[in-house]
Amino acid sequence: MATFFGSPPSLSHSLNRIHHLSSSSQTPPPPPATPPPPELQSQSSSSLRITSSEQQPPVSVNSQQQKPTKAESTDWIASTLTRRFGLGAGLAWAAFLAVGVISEQIKTRLEVSDQEANTRDLEKEEEVLLPNGIRYYDIRVGGGASPRQGDLVVIDLKGKIEGKSEVFVDTFERDAKPLALVMGSRPYTKGMCEGIEYVLRSMKAGGKRRVIVPPSLGFGEKGAELGSGIQIPPSATLEYIVEVDKVSIAPA
């Protein structure tokens, strides 16, 4: 019984030695981690930010952006007003142009109406002798505007050498086109001469005259070659029939 309840000294010593060895064989706990200095923390955070930014995939940008198309318009002024001041300004400008066109048409019709109303045929031709030697006979007095320097004048013209039947210019024919000239411009249209331009200054649209032009205001002492075998002899007196169809401002 003494042996069961009490341990012999040798056994007790052995148990204590085993307990001591097992306690010493255990791994000691690691020391607490010391936080890095603030400088290292800031460097670590900045390196992490750089790494994260480098790892981010590049954002694709569409270089070919769709450009807004400009509204096409035959009137750039109306387009500009519409973009800057709105649709109302563009419509107002379009209405202004429409009124201008209609006004111009009305004005032209009124001028034509006045010209026709004031134009009259003369029963008797009377000779008018000018100081420069030109003679003319009014066949019809026009009721329209008189041409001025720089105006565009459309005329019908028939010319021949005085005393002869051969005609060197004739736009009164059915398929012929009238002549157009700008007052004061050179050279003259085929068949024209200085004497005819001088006479036109005192005529009006719708008027018609028979004109006798002396050589000094015609083709002079040398005459002229008009083509197609037509020649004006030197010092020839010319006889014309001239009619003013239209007088207007010459285009710029």
Boundaries of every domain in the chain: 127-249
pLDDT of residue 47: 47
Three-class SS of residue 76? helix
- Tens of pLDDT along the chain (252 residues)? 444 444 444 444 444 444 444 444 445 555 555 555 555 454 444 444 544 444 455 444 444 455 444 444 455 555 665 665 566 656 665 666 666 555 555 555 555 666 566 788 888 889 999 999 999 999 999 999 999 999 999 999 999 999 999 999 999 998 899 999 999 998 888 889 999 999 999 999 999 999 999 999 999 999 999 888 889 999 999 999 999 999 998 776
Question: Which residues neighbour 208 within 8 Å (Cβ) at sequence distance 6 or greater?
Answer: 138, 139, 140, 142, 241, 242, 243, 244
Helix (H), strand (E) at residue 226: strand 224-227
pLDDT of residue 20: 47
pTM: 0.56
pLDDT of residue 134: 97
Classify the C-alpha dihedral 114-116-117-120 as positive or negative.
positive
pLDDT of residue 137: 97
* Phi, psi at 149, each rounded to 5°: -60, 125
Q: Which residues, in sequence order, are bridge partners of residue 160?
A: 167, 239
SS3 content of the chain, % helix, strand, coil (to 5): 35, 20, 40
Least Cα distance to 203 among 139, 117, 251, 160 occurs for: 139
Yes or no: is domain 127-249 CATH 3.40.309.10? no
Least Cα distance to 199 among 116, 250, 128 occurs for: 128
